[in-house]
Structure 1
Amino acid sequence: MSEKVLENKRRSLFRIIVISTAAIVFVPILYSGIYLSAFWNPYGKFYNVPVAFVNLDKPIVKNGKRYNIGKDIENNLRKNNSIGWKFVSLNEAKKGVNGTSYYAAVIIPEDFSQKISAAAGGNLTRPILLYEANKGKNFVFAQVSERAAESIKAEIASSIQEQTVKALASSLYDVKNSLLTASNGANALQNGTEKLLTGSRQLSTGLTAAANGANQLQNGLKQASAGEAQLSTGIDSLTNGLNQFKNGLTQNAGSLTQLVNGANAVSNGVSTIASVANNANVSQNLASAANGIVQIKTALSQAASILASSSDPQSIAQAQGILNGLINTINTNNLEGNLRTAAGNARILTSSLNQLSTVAKQVAAGTNTLSSTLATNQKNAVSGINQLIDGANKLKSGSQGLTNGLNTATQNTGSLASGLTSLNTGASDLTNGISAANSGATKLKDGLSSGYTTMSSNLKFSVENISSFVTNPLTLSDVSINSVPYYGQGLAPYFISLSLWLGAMLMNLIISLTKLSKIIEYKFFKTYTGVFLVGSALVMLQSVILSFVLVNALGLSPSNLALFYLENMFISVVFFSIMYGVSYAIGIIGTPIIFILFILQLASSGGTFPIETAPSFFRAISPFFPMTYTVEGLRMIISGINASRLTQITIFLIIFMLIFLLGGFIINRTFKGLKTIKAEDD
């Protein structure tokens, strides 16, 4: 083959290598830029993602309040543009979720408002919010839509909590008022038990006195019973006396008749004597008259004695006065003596007889009057005595009843005294019980008063305030550090590391192929250091282009822009050092090994999820791969720098770089030495 042809081939190959190198320079930006730009802020564009909403809820009115929760949710979601809500029927929603129209569906059942109203009224039946997603269509969005359903659930739960807390707070105020009422009632109860205790003590004292009085009454009734027996005996004596007096009055009726007849006879006799005395034999007649006077005096004394036993005081006194007057007249005038004297003194006989005749007439008239009066009085006396006898008989019967009653009363009084003693014992127990009740009422009053005071001092919130506080008891103050505003910015450290690794791997592959083809004859390019420096310059160019596009095209905003560029350049050099060391040590066959290392780092670097969520194998190998540290370092530079940790990461990456550069060089030189020795031996 001519020299010219070889030169042309060399130039063509050189052009290919240059073009390939230029293309490889843009590999990181193609990988990271395109992917990150496509998913830089996917959460901000979910308004284009269709999610079905089905409202089957039926409104209900309960206790004067209308519940239409499903419609309220629907109205709120119509104003919510975070997700592409589509308000459709149940059939369309299910068909769309099972097909390709909707990613998920949120369904409000028809008894939703009914269950919420029941919960507000104390019937804790949980309403059901149906969420149906086609997770196979897009798992990530399924998670997002599920959070949207959880958000709706939280909003409804907040409303239920608000209503429930309002009811509970109102109940607390009712309890507070009830405590006040109960405290006042307990105070009145304590006052009542205090009065009851005082009354009980007075009752006990009164019962003691009553028991003593009952004993005294029993003794008195016994004495009364004995006195009543004496009274009964006296009534019998009275009855007998009345009967005798009645019989005496009957007998006195005959005596009065005799008295009247005698008085008339005396009067006639005196008149006759006076007449005879005027004629002759006066002395003898006077003597006889004197004897008649004695008889009259005796009869008058008997009449006076009988009248003395009469029951009509006035009549008897009048009659007795007349009789006593006659007797006194006879005694005073000494008629007997005078008549006897007159028997011897004839001169005055006539005069005396005349006087005696006058007196006899008076006696006869008085006797007639007395007889008439005594007859009337006797009749009345007999009637009165009959009444007295009847009354005495009735008194006798009443006395017998009184005796029986007194005996019964005496027995009952004994029972009464015993009952009063028992009642007094019970009253003492009652007093003790009421005293205990009073102490309990005092404690109840104090306890209720203390409870009301405590509740009143602690229950300082209004129903609205407490319901608002319990519904939203916590204000989340987000003082997070190292803010990441976009989804793509959060993934950028991972994809930048992957892009720079791929860029360095391809760049190392081109350089290795260039060395093998011997197209470039520059001595500098043939040295270990020269190739390293050329490769480092190319990968740093890759990182600069990548950084520029991310910052200016996608809007990545690192916390330190200059350090962001420098860090990417440093990472590119580290990755290239690792690959260059491997390929320098074992040749182009190291490329598959480098690719395997790339695959292992995808799962062990913690670029998407925390490394703690990875299987134990990947957690174990994670500290031994450089991408673990590059991802962490880039996160710091993009979101917030921890200087000490970033220094440690830088040291770890330098160690990786030195190990592979020196190791590759040593291995290469060692194997070349062995080959030379073997060739010389041959």
Structure 2
Amino acid sequence: MWNIFARDWKSISTNWVAMILIGGLIVLPSLYAWFNIKASWDPYSQTDQLPVAVVNEDAGATVRDKDIDVGNDLVEKLKDNDSFDWKFTDRETAMDKVEYGDYYAAIVIPEEFSENLGTVISDEPQKSNVEYYVNEKINAIAPKITEKGASVLVDQITNEFVSEVNGTVAELFNDLGIELENDLPDIKRFEEYVFKLEENLPEIHDLITGAYDDSQSAASIINDVQGLLPRAEKVTDQGLGTINETTTFLNDAEKRLKEIAPQVESDLKKAQQTAEDVNSFIKDVQSLDLDLEGVTQLKDGINQRTNQALEQLNTVENLLKQVQQQQQQPDAENPENGEGTQNTQPNSEASQQAINQALTSVSTIRERLQTVQNDAGQIEGRLNESQKEIDDTLSTLEQKSGETADRIDAFLKEYNENIEPRVLEEIDQAQQTLSEARSILTEAQSTIPRIQQVLGSTEGNLAEGQDILEYMLNEYPYVNEKVNQMADRIRDIQGETDINDIIELLKNDPEAEQSFFEEPVNLSKNTMFPIENYGTGMTPFYTVLSLWVGALLLVSLLSTEPIHTSEYRSYEQYLGKLATFLSIGVLQTLVVTLGNLFILKIGIAESLYFVLFGMGISMVFMTIVFTLVSVLGDVGKAGAIVFLVLQIAGSGGTYPVALLPEFFQNIHPFLPFSYAVDLLREATGGIVEARVQTDVIRLVAFAALFLSIGVFLKGPLHENSRKLMKKSRESGLFH
């Protein structure tokens, strides 16, 4: 084994061509890693070189008297944005450029963009669309990057819009909170009103029921009143007729009273004169000695004058009775007078009282005259008795005739001063009362049609009110239930929340709220194993890949068999040559790992472990590849290439294993790349000992497996593989 290893390195050191080739094989794999790592160093920082078209067709909109143009605002912001190489153009140019491949993508802001955003305050808000066009055949990664840029653009519009809307909402909430705070006493009173309403609902129901019953009674009363209106109209007409007739009669009575007044005065004066004549006559005869013939003449004289006075008093009495009858005639002839004529009765009673008083006075005077006449008749009878008695009688007659004359004089004065003026005054008052009654009845007569109209309207309104009351009675169970539910809900809310807390929640700083909703969540990134950039993250994969490629280059250019095979046993040949390949592989690893650290200056967390892990991985890979070729020949080379292809896809070096197809997920645990890439990732980002132990154990297991194959199977399989290689060379296509 040592002889084979020593001879190989002696040949390399003494042959400058071999030395150059080996040097190239040592350096070449590192170039594969370095170029790929540098190319993928930080591609996302170069997106400003990707041309993306922006087409603004937004026509703007007016929302609540405020002009908005979101498309134009977006364009102005993109001019200061260096995420992409923005190309502001029209739709036709953008589509042509994207189709040809000059632009990777195009973003079109449609005409109704602002208008649709403005519908957020309407009952049917509509979403705004941003059109995105991409040419995916240009590059596999570029469409994903530009699509991410478009998504970020839409998110930016959305965040700003949401921020603006929520800022407005926050202002409204703040105003609402202030208003609620101001209205808090009213809210408390409203709660009390609800509870009071809940408490009084049964009484309200009773009141509504009573009102409904009363409305039915009122409707019946209105119908009765409407039935009585024609009769009232008739009575009013009759009352006016009666008043007119009474007024005419009073006018006639006044006229007749004025006509008979002089005659009454004349007759009373005559009666007074007669009484005075009787008194004078009695005085004349009182001092005479009367004989029977003289007494008789005296008696006849007294009777004659007394009869004249009585006739005159009868005339006065008849005249007064006529006046009395005229005063009584209106009531006698119109016993059914309406209420409008009742106002005349007090005046009629006063005039009747005056006339009755006059009649009483006349009657008294008549009685006095009749007494005189009777006493005169007694003179003759008493003549024989005594002269003294006659004288007494004459004295009595003189006294009574004097009193009669005085009474007639007093009555005449009373009649002139009181009776006649009072009767005329009462007639005048009755006429005025009748005039007022006529005015009242005339107004009542004109009011009756209005009353009929009002009653008809009231009947209609009452019917409508009955419908409303009936509706309220029908709806009462629902209202009762809802009011109780509201009261219960208020009690629940009072038990669960405090309105003061709600007010404090609504009151806020609108600007702070707007800033919050513009970015409600801040991503606080805490990197446990920080990786500087994409290139650093891809370093483990490209380093592992270069080590496998380096092993493939070695087995492709260097012989896996010693020059003198007959001198060595098969396992000695295998192990001796493997040592040479392993030593060159270690050199390859030193170049690529140290180059990563000092040429590319990749930020490696554990540099020493990165180099050591790389050397160990190179040994494992070289063992696997060398064993395949050493045992299987050209078939082993093909196997190593197939193994490489499967590991690139299934190791999880570029994409997470969870995102790979099921086949690659199934073979992932059986691929050396899986553990090699993971081991270098530990050194790059930070070591977790448990993972390092797992990865090292698995890689050592792979190395031990292939080392066992090489030691134990090279001899039995070598002869067959040599025959196969010889046969392939005979084709002239293989070396």
Fold agreement, TM-score > 0.5: yes
Normalised TM-score (structure 2):
0.64
Structure-2 separation of matches of 1:625 and 1:363: 171
The amino acid that maps onto 1:480 is: T
Alpha-carbon distance, 1:363 to partner: 8.0
2: distance between equivalents of 1:600 and 1:364?
170
Whether 1:161 aligns to 2:162 is yes
Matching of residue 498 in structure 1 with residue 545 in structure 2: yes
Q: Structure 1 residue 464 and structure 2 residue 523: aligned?
A: no
Equivalent position to 2:627, from 581, 596, 599: 581
1:254-273 to 2 correspondence within 5 Å?
none
Kindly state the Cα deviation for residue 427 of structure 1 after the two structures are TM-superposed.
Answer: 13
Tell me which residue corresponds to 2:682: 636
Distance 1:346 1:287 in 2: 15
Given residue 463 of structure 1, which amino acid in structure 2 is its aligned partner?
Answer: P
* Alpha-carbon distance in structure 1 between the residues aligned to 2:159 and 2:523: 16
Conservation of the 8 A alpha-carbon contact between 2:171 and 2:510: yes
The separation in 2 between residues aligned to 1:143 and 1:658, in whole angstroms, is 43
Task: State the partner residue of 1:658.
Answer: 704
Give distance in 2, aligned partners of 1:662 and 1:371.
178
Residue pairs, 1:138-149, within 5 angstroms: 138-149=139-150
Task: Identify the residue that residue 35 of structure 1 maps to in structure 2.
Answer: 36
For the Cα contact (< 8 Å) 1:200–1:430, is it kept in 2?
A: no
Structure 1 residue 567, shift from structure 2 partner: 0.3
C-alpha displacement at 1:139, in angstroms?
A: 1.9
SS at match of 1:537: helix
2:328 corresponds to 1:282:
no
2:604·2:685 contact (CA, 8 Å) conserved in 1?
yes
Q: Deviations over 1:395-432 (max 9, x none)?
A: xxx9xx9xxxxxxxxxxxxxxxxx9xx9xx99999999
Look up the match of 1:130.
131
- In 2, Cα distance between the equivalents of 1:651 and 1:617? 24
Deviation at 1:469, TM superposition (A): 2.4
Q: How does 1:37-436 map to 2 (within 5 A)?
A: 37-60=38-61, 62-119=63-120, 124-172=125-173, 184=186, 187=190, 190=193, 282-283=291-292, 285-286=294-295, 312=355, 315=358, 342-343=383-384, 362=402
TM superposition shift of 1:606: 1.6
- Asked whether the 8 Å contact 2:561–2:577 carries over to 1, the reply is no
- Structure 2: distance between partners of 1:113 and 1:426: 52
Query: Which residue in the other structure is 1:217 paired with?
Result: none
In structure 1, the partner of 2:525 is 478
1:123: Cα distance to partner?
6.0
3-state DSSP of counterpart to 1:602: helix
Task: Give yes or no for the alignment of 1:558 onto 2:604.
Answer: yes
CA displacement at 1:197 relative to structure 2: 6.3
Give the 3-state SS of the residue equivalent to 1:80 in structure 2: coil
Task: Report the CA distance between 1:546 and its aligned residue.
Answer: 0.5
| SS of the residue 1:71 aligns to | helix
User: Would the aligned equivalents of 1:525 and 1:531 in 2 still touch at CA under 8 Å?
Assistant: no
Q: How much has 1:29 moved relative to structure 2?
A: 0.6
Deviation at 1:460, TM superposition (A): 3.4
User: Following TM superposition, by how much is the alpha carbon of 1:67 offset from its aligned partner in structure 2, in angstroms?
Assistant: 2.8
Tell me the secondary structure at the aligned position of residue 586 of structure 2. Answer: helix
Change (3 A) 1:337 1:446: same
State the Cα deviation string for residues 215-258 of structure 1 (Å, max 9, x = none): xxxxxxxxxxxxxxxxxxxxxxxxxxxxxxx9xx9xxx9x9999
Per-residue deviation at 1:568?
A: 0.4
Q: Give the whole-Å Cα distance in 2 for the aligned partners of 1:45 and 1:360.
A: 159
Q: 1:61 to 1:304 in 2, by over 3 A?
A: closer
SS for the counterpart of 1:554 is: coil
Instruction: Give the RMSD, CA atoms, in angstroms.
Output: 6.1
Q: Which residue identity is paired with 2:518?
A: T
Q: Which runs of 5+ in 2 are unaligned?
A: 1-10, 222-255, 322-354, 442-458, 722-735
CA contact 1:543–1:568 (8 Å) conserved in 2: yes
* Aligned 8 A contact 2:51 2:84 in 1: yes
1:364 Cα deviation after fit: 8.8
1:597 maps onto 2:643 in alignment:
yes
The 3 A distance-change label for structure 1 pair 288 and 37 is: closer
Which secondary structure does the structure 1 equivalent of 2:676 belong to? helix
* Residue 466 to residue 339, structure 1, CA distance change in 2 (3 Å): same
- Partners of 1:56 and 1:346 in 2: how far apart? 158
Separation in 1, partners of 2:388, 2:395: 14
SS in 2 for 1:512: coil
Alpha-carbon distance in 2 for matches of 1:271, 1:120:
129
State the TM-score, normalizing by the size of structure 1.
0.68
**CA distance in structure 1 between the partners assigned to 2:567 and 2:16 by the alignment:** 15
Identical amino acids, percent of aligned pairs:
21
Q: 1:534 is matched with which residue: 580, 584, 608?
A: 580
1:651 is displaced (CA, Å) by 0.4
Which position in structure 2 is the counterpart of 1:409? none
1:263-300 CA-to-partner distances (Å, cap 9, x unmatched) read 7997798689779x65xx82454477579879999999
Task: Give the counterpart letter for 1:656 in structure 2.
Answer: F
2:632–2:717: 8 Å Cα contact kept in structure 1?
no
Instruction: Name the stretch that deviates more: 570-579 or 431-440.
Output: 431-440
What letter is aligned with 1:645? R
